[in-house]
Structure 1
């Protein structure tokens, strides 16, 4: 059978699974220009030759687990991406697929067989060899429910991106073959257009089989990445140290990276300006201008590839009725929300995927803010006097919703105008994620940052019936949407995929399982001396190329 061969120089030719995020690239981190003072400024002192270079990153919440396949949240991945690596990766500022632990690959003409050539001489941090057997060990653990190392509750991301598990009717991967020590082959049950792009996602990082067998991977991670795990003080700091045997010679530039939890956005900015930390995310959008004007700091913008939303549990009354969901959509003043919480760094959302992605349906016109229409729909649904509901508000800042508690309070006031009384509740972040995933809520705020630049990663991942108990927080099930999304996965023709995704968005809009609120351009602040930091549209990145003066 004739093969198509891809190497690092040819990845741009991959039509089957190449998907660009459509986001503009962020610029490299640079010291802000101030021509009026430039000549008077004293440049930062160079560290002594033997003085370790350390980067302290401030963030709003702790990591859940350092076993990335078990998690779905960005606070986990911002750490694990520095410890582990995936078979393929993405370019620094977009989601173009490039080699990772696999240096090249071949795809059969029928799109059902992928053969990867692995890098040689790569070691896990525990000294064991990275090879084809290690890759198979990891995938067997993820895809086979009978595997002794499989999570009894499953792996949400694996289920969501590969159509369930081994033996399930829509499962993508048929088998994995070790061809030789440095060649691994994936044979698929059905074609999947974003298969390569999916393999680059953070949860599919390859861990040491020895560490998996030890049963402590979530607390003592072992990968092949630029940094090694050094310690974790829960709800405080995670410390990583340079991997001196890293295969990508010349990197990392830092000797140590510390991830420090500072829950409040304002307190995190204070820590940055005082020198306690070197870089922070979760900057309040209305603080962005002050950072930009501070000669000791720099403002960076993460390219937008996200959506913040209000979700309904469609399996529970009254949210099993589409008219109730549509009514609430009319009652939320999105433009005012964006104005109040995003300070010019966001836009109102209509669809559950951002307009920065191909396949976005710009023909759908959003429901206007109209309280009379909202009341009319509630009455038609049998709730002329409204109802009472528990409303879960996010306890931590996220790129797509900078302040979940205050946004929940604003929505609370909007809904009160149509007779809906809400009791706002919140809880620790890991518990919040688990409860929403399992449907233990009535109404909640959440959001999504895209992982790979493909519409599939929004529409299928968030709203297909197969992803209930995964990332389908509304527990939405529509058979017509399901069939459209499966068909879109299985064709390599991008124009056909666009047509299918646009139709799916029309059905989802009509059913309103969630209210898309905003797409943000998240601001990030750093010391002026931090260089080489490239915010990635997928929401997290390795800092192997970062340096600090």
Structure 2
């Protein structure tokens, strides 16, 4: 039995190892970080973008997080509750967290269980448009047994109870600061959303949306010797290549995130000797998403790309199974991975590529491109090539708008995929949007990946921790973004399948690890075999840090900045 299996099956957990002793808080001056996708908010509950989750993780914290090895470790909790230590009930219907004593918010007020309960109520408010609702699936309620004891009750037995308020995507916000920011008011609270009061090692001193964040050491942080850095300059924007260069060649920055650039260029930069490229594989998959609703600009804001329970707003072409399958068959993940990622990626046919126990082998035929099969699928479905080679049927052209964020690798992928689709008679218009906007989550913007005002779109996401229950639950019918949820929601595809929904419920109520793995694979296979999306690359989280920066433990199970309190200058 692997370490992960022991943890999931028995509820065991490893304590977080203490970092190296630091001489004095703030002694190492300024830390410079660059994320070429600039955060648009510091509230991860109002954005499904990784950049917002990462930036916020320096300030606001969960009860527990996942380490670089995938182990669950305490953050605001004093210990990890298990059945063995009495923290998880025998019937698996509740978990009781003992909170660390004397933890203060950055404003000097005490952190208590009431803040955790408020966070739960904040995210589950039906008018709030919370982007992270899946982490609270199955929670019946929360109660404070005292100021430092939180009991979470579940509607059914919860075999893996470490979801609500665990991991960087489900941190605790201060009740006092966000008291007037619940429900429909949530996006309107700019001051709180840009400058959250946290318990983490740093606090925001200035937030400029889609640009720069400045932070300073939190004088009320619970470890008096941490963080080693007095200030953080968190620069957003630009592109992945210039971010990599600023660490590996010019030495202007200390840490650069998500270096999605060609492997040859990355290797050449690293050879300059000023920094190191670090890679961690967990659950990230670059994929093309299919829109199952109609994105026609002629439709009004309450109709365009809006899922309807009665199925009355389907995509006029992509609702056809044969079309989706043909588009997938025309793609070659192996070639794309070699071109775009090299050793930092692996071709995949699954949206759930790891941990290994959950990885299906039922879809591996996607690794072999088959243009002839793609053409036959379209022929058989009645799509006939027109005079210009673009297929037509019933007065409709096989023509799509394919969008993604602005990035050299993604634009190269778009161009190659467009050429492959052209070979089978598909016309493709390419569009790229600034990553800061695309992943920003602004409900007023028409250009976010959540709005999905296109036919197809490409990006990567993943999930925190090692259990995929919440992640696989994102494709249930009720998770589709729409105006009533402030365009938040994890089911970006607007795909709805009642059998899948039933499997999600079954998954949440299944205890045995082997049986859970079986259900997770079924859910993955259902998505893959209905061509809800086309997986391309199992991506390693690829970043770089300067040779003068120590303490970094790159982590793809949680925020890459999960242990930033331990970062320091190399001696």
TM-score range, shorter chain: 0.7 to 0.9
Give the match for residue 417 of structure 2: 411
- Give the RMSD, CA atoms, in angstroms: 2.6
Report how many residues are paired.
493
Over 3 Å counting, the alpha-carbon distance change for 1:14 and 1:375 in structure 2 is closer
Map 1:371-390 → 2, pairs under 5 A:
371-385=371-385, 386=391, 387-390=398-401
Map 1:285-324 → 2, pairs under 5 A:
285-315=263-293, 316-324=315-323
1:343 aligns with 2:342: yes
Give the SS at the match of 1:102. Answer: coil
C-alpha separation between the residues in 2 aligned to 1:410 and 1:422? 11
Map 1:27-426 → 2, pairs under 5 A:
52-91=28-67, 93-104=68-79, 105=81, 106-145=87-126, 152-158=127-133, 160-163=134-137, 172-213=138-179, 215=189, 216-272=191-247, 273-283=249-259, 284=261, 285-315=263-293, 316-367=315-366, 368-385=368-385, 386=391, 387-396=398-407, 403-426=409-432
Question: Displacement, 1:279?
Answer: 1.5
> Normalization by structure 1: what TM-score?
0.84
The CA deviation string for residues 97-145 of structure 1, in whole angstroms up to 9 with x for no partner, is 1222121331111111111111111111122210112221221222233
Give the SS at the match of 2:88. Answer: strand
> Normalization by structure 2: what TM-score?
0.81
C-alpha separation between the residues in 2 aligned to 1:420 and 1:451? 37
2:34, 2:243 within 8 Å by CA — same for their partners in 1? yes
Give the SS at the match of 1:311. Answer: strand
Instruction: Identify the match of residue 9 of structure 2 among 11, 15, 32.
Output: 15
C-alpha separation between the residues in 2 aligned to 1:244 and 1:346? 40
Give the match for residue 310 of structure 2: none
Give the match for residue 551 of structure 2: 532
Give the SS at the match of 1:441. Answer: coil
2:116, 2:165 within 8 Å by CA — same for their partners in 1? no
Question: Displacement, 1:51?
Answer: 6.3
The CA deviation string for residues 226-280 of structure 1, in whole angstroms up to 9 with x for no partner, is 1111112333311111112211343211111111124222222332222321121
C-alpha separation between the residues in 2 aligned to 1:111 and 1:537? 28
Over 3 Å counting, the alpha-carbon distance change for 1:257 and 1:501 in structure 2 is same
For structure 1, list consecutive stretches of 5 or more residues without a partner in the other structure.
Answer: 1-10, 21-27, 30-46, 146-151, 164-171, 397-401
2:59, 2:202 within 8 Å by CA — same for their partners in 1? yes
Question: Displacement, 1:162?
Answer: 2.9
1:357, 1:454 within 8 Å by CA — same for their partners in 2? no
C-alpha separation between the residues in 2 aligned to 1:375 and 1:257? 54
Give the SS at the match of 2:336. Answer: helix
Which stretch has the larger CA shift, 354-363 or 59-68? 354-363
C-alpha separation between the residues in 2 aligned to 1:136 and 1:383? 55
Over 3 Å counting, the alpha-carbon distance change for 1:473 and 1:49 in structure 2 is closer
Over 3 Å counting, the alpha-carbon distance change for 1:53 and 1:208 in structure 2 is same
Question: Displacement, 1:355?
Answer: 4.1
Give the SS at the match of 1:525. Answer: strand
Instruction: Identify the match of residue 468 of structure 2 among 450, 455, 459.
Output: 455
Give the match for residue 507 of structure 1: 526
Over 3 Å counting, the alpha-carbon distance change for 1:206 and 1:51 in structure 2 is closer
C-alpha separation between the residues in 2 aligned to 1:198 and 1:366? 36
Over 3 Å counting, the alpha-carbon distance change for 1:482 and 1:351 in structure 2 is same
Question: Displacement, 1:61?
Answer: 1.5
Over 3 Å counting, the alpha-carbon distance change for 1:155 and 1:230 in structure 2 is same
Give the match for residue 309 of structure 2: none
Question: Displacement, 1:460?
Answer: 2.2
Give the SS at the match of 2:375. Answer: helix
2:88, 2:95 within 8 Å by CA — same for their partners in 1? yes
Which stretch has the larger CA shift, 364-373 or 508-517? 364-373
Over 3 Å counting, the alpha-carbon distance change for 1:437 and 1:525 in structure 2 is same
Give the SS at the match of 1:393. Answer: strand
The CA deviation string for residues 407-426 of structure 1, in whole angstroms up to 9 with x for no partner, is 11111111111111111122
1:472 aligns with 2:491: yes
1:441 aligns with 2:454: yes
C-alpha separation between the residues in 2 aligned to 1:474 and 1:280? 30
The CA deviation string for residues 205-240 of structure 1, in whole angstroms up to 9 with x for no partner, is 112222213642111111100111111233331111
Over 3 Å counting, the alpha-carbon distance change for 1:174 and 1:304 in structure 2 is closer
